[in-house]
Structure 1
Amino acid sequence: MDVLISGASIAGPALAYWLGRHGYRPTIVEIAPELRTGGNAVDFRGPVHLGLLDKMGVLDDLRAVQTGGTVMRFVDENGNRVMEMPADFAGGDIEILRGDLSRILCAAAGDRTEYLFGDSITALDETPDGVDVTFASGLRRTFDLVVGADGVHSNVRRLTFGPERQFVRHLGYYVAGWKVPEAPGREAVGYNVPGRLASLGDDQAFVAFSAPELTYDRHDRDAQKQIVREHFAGLGWRVPELLDALDHAGDLYFDQICRVDINPWSRGRIVLVGDAACGATIGGMGNGTAVVAAYTLAGELAAAGGDHTVAFARYEARIKPFARRAQRGGSGAGHFLAPRTARGLRIRNWLHNQGWFLKLTYRIAGDRSGGIDLPDYDTAAGRLSAASRPLRSSARPGRR
Structure 2
Amino acid sequence: MQPAAEGGSSDRVTVDLDPDVRSGPGKVRRDSEPVSEDERSGRADVVLSRIITALERLEVEENAPRSLKRKRYAAAMLLLSVPVLSSIVAFGVQLSVAFGRSFSKLGSLFVASSLLVTFLTTHLVLRYGSAEFKKLASRRYLICIVNGMVVASKHTLQAMAVSRMNSSIFFIVMRFALLWMAMFDALYSLKLPGLKAIGILAVILFSVSITSDSLTSDEEGMEVTMEGVFLALGCALADAGSDIASDVIGSSFTTGLQGTARNCELNRYLVMQQACSIPCYILAAAAIGELPILFRGYDSTVFFLASLPLVLKIPVFQFAIFTAGAVKTNMAVSFEMGVSYVFEVFFGLAKFNLSKFFAMMAFACVLLMDSLHASQLENAAAEQHRTTLQKVRREIERTCASTSVVRDGGDGNAK
Q: Give TM class, smaller chain.
A: under 0.3
TM-score by length of 1: 0.26
Richer in helix (by share): 2
Richer in strand (by share): 1
| Larger RCO (alpha carbons 8 Å, 6+ apart) | 2
